[in-house]
């Protein structure tokens, strides 16, 4: 089996915390990382404003900005689902075999552990600032500080797709 780690999340958007986790996984000796984008079937909502394709693009742009070769990364998407042991098996069927999942989420940890996957709990990586929720809130308020929380190419991409305007519009409809 390849020495591969799984990082599973929504990545709304892919930010410096996610990027730090990818870098950390390589520091831990993993050769490859599978990035599985969850809730791919939900977009244009306050919690999930970006599409699965947009999130894949953000992952790739962030990695390129950081000099991480895309040959070390596998990206995949999975639709919205509830987390359970059955879900863990289902999730694992969407990606090539992994040695471990990197997560701080206790529910995901339990489901994947019960499914026989090693769980590694990574550091927090500036969790107070590097959070999708914080970034989306800043965007919805028109606060440009969100731009410091993602890589430069992701800033350009979000601007190109009208992401800030989308987040503002979605949040004004509540």
Annotated domain spans of the chain:
4-172
Encoding tokens for residue 29?
């000796």
pTM here is 0.92
* Two tokens, residue 149: 């929380």
- 13 preceded by cis ω (within 30°)? yes
Nearest to 25 by CA among 125, 117, 133: 125
Per-residue pLDDT, averaged over 59-67, amounts to: 97
For range 18-33, the mean pLDDT: 97
Cβ neighbours of 42 (radius 10 Å): 16
Average pLDDT over residues 111-133: 89
Assign residue 130 a region: left if phi > 0, alpha if psi is -120 to 50, beta otherwise?
beta
Residues in CB range of 138: below 8 A, 6 or more apart: 144, 145, 146, 149
Residue of 74, 90, 87 lying closest to 30 (CA atoms): 74
Name which of 24-38, 53-67, 68-82, 159-173 the model is least confident about: 68-82
Helix/strand/coil percent split, the chain, to 5:
45, 15, 40
The stretch 12-29 carries a mean pLDDT of 96
| Domain range 4-172, its CATH number among 3.20.20.70, 3.40.50.620, 3.10.50.30, 3.30.70.20 | 3.40.50.620
- The model's confidence at residue 83, banded by pLDDT at 50, 70 and 90, is low
Stretch 12-39: mean pLDDT: 96
| Mean pLDDT value of segment 9-38 | 96
Residue 76 has pLDDT above 80, yes or no: yes
Q: Which residue has the tokens 């979000």?
A: 158
Cβ neighbours of residue 84 closer than 8 Å, sequence gap 6 or more: 111
For residue 150, give the nearest of 170, 130, 122 by alpha carbon: 130
Predicted confidence band of residue 6 (pLDDT cuts 50, 70, 90): very high
Please report which confidence band the pLDDT of residue 84 belongs to, taking 50, 70 and 90 as the band edges. low
Share of the chain above pLDDT 70, in %: 95
Strands 100-102 and 73-77: unpaired
Alpha-carbon gap, residue 62 to 152, rounded angstroms:
8
Mean pLDDT, residues 68-88 taken together: 83
Cβ–Cβ < 8 Å for 109, 83: no
Higher pLDDT, 174 or 121: 121
pLDDT at 90: 87
């Amino acid at each position: 089996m390849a020495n591969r780690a799984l990082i599973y999340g929504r990545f709304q958007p892919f930010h410096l915390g996610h990027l730090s986790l990818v870098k950390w996984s390589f520091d831990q000796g993993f050769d490859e990382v599978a990035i599985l984008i969850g809730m791919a079937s939900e977009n244009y909502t306050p919690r999930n404003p970006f599409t699965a394709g947009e999130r894949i693009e953000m992952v790739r742009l962030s990695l390129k900005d950081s000099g991480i070769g895309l040959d070390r990364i596998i990206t995949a998407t999975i639709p919205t689902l509830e987390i359970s042991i059955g879900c863990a098996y289902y999730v694992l069927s969407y990606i090539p075999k992994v040695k471990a999942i990197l997560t701080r989420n206790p529910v995901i940890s339990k489901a994947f552990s019960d499914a026989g996957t090693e769980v590694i709990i990574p550091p927090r990586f500036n969790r107070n600032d590097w959070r999708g929720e914080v970034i989306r809130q800043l965007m919805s308020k028109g606060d440009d500080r969100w731009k410091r929380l993602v890589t430069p190419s992701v800033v350009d991409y979000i601007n190109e797709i009208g992401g800030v305007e989308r987040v503002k519009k979605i949040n004004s409809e509540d």
